[in-house]
Copies of this chain bind each other. A is one copy, B any other.
Amino acid sequence: MKPYAFGVDLGGNAIKIGLFQTTGNLVDKWTIPARLEDRGSHLLPDVVDSIRAKMESHSLSWESVEGVGMGVPGPVGQDGTVLRCVNLGWDVLNVPQAVRELEPAIEKLQVANDVNAATLGEMWQGGAQWNNSAVMVTLGVGIGSGIVVDNKVFVGSTGAAGEIGHMCVNPKETERCTCGNYGCLEQYCSDTGLVRSAKQVLEEMPQAASVLREGEITPQAICEAAKKNDPVATEVLDRFGQLMGQALTAVACTVNPQVFVIGGALSQGGMVILKPIETYFRRYAFHAFRNTPFVLAELGDDAGIYGSVRMLFDDVKLDEELELGLEELEL
């Protein structure tokens, strides 16, 4: 294995890039703007230019670079074809091919959905180490999930595996989700879902004193209030836990992962977010997976660049690392 590799997290707001040693050490990370004009056609050239500039400043040549891994915010086929990426302005695009045209010297190129990449990152150096199957749930503006089985990201036949944000959890809902359906998990348990839920609970519990009656209701405010046992915030997160717990038992019934990783901006709430999910999961879960562990993501916004690099290693490699690690633990 060559000594260096690059991990790229291509987002609609910014592009994050990391230079790693292939031993796993993050040497340098930086962010460049995401120029979305002209149907996102500047994005890949900008990435390649930025990597070239960084290589020059570190006196690296392509001979010492194992490859480039990339996470993108949309469905990605097995061969790295992005099937449509609204946030970047892309239609169908074979990313490895497009990057190779820009820089033929890149030896390995791997592309995956950003949440899938983040899941691999958390399994490699984050909250879900020592597992070879995991489901990571990212709670933020939307709800995404990454599914990794036998250290491989799980794509699905139309790239929609892990779209649990659009799992229908309430067929009786009368408001529409952004996807056009009614009753999606995202409508209740995302950032905006939590705020909506808080407004409802405030109305339903007019007698309850709550700091949420003053000032702007944000997910952060809800979490902070819950930490101080605010009755409204506690009720909001209890309802959140019921729906998340039930949704994740459906996921466990299907893929039965070794571990659930809770990430995304909302996961910064820590235990007031994790605990209700875990409580209701255990209540609703079938006995064969009732004890599936729940962990918080640890790499934050860096999970994507870690996982993108992780994709460049084959599975045998990781299994060796895993065994090595376990042996070390036994000493």
Contact = CB atoms under 8 A, between A and B. Distances in A.
A250 B252 contact: no
B286 A166 contact: yes
A160 B290 CA distance: 11
B288 A158 contact: yes
Interface stretch (A118-126, A149-157, A189-197): A149-157
Contacts of A154: 149, 255
Interface stretch (A39-47, A56-64, A241-249, A318-326): A241-249
Contacts of A284: 168, 171, 181, 183
A155 B247 CA distance: 20
Contacts of A160: 252-253, 256, 286, 288-289
Contacts of A161: 254-256
Interface string A120-138: 0000000000000100000
Nearest to A246: B168
Contacts of A75: 288
A247 B164 CA distance: 12
Contacts of A162: 253-254, 256
Interface of A: 75, 133, 147, 149, 154-164, 166-168, 171, 179-181, 183-184, 242, 246-247, 249-258, 283-289, 292
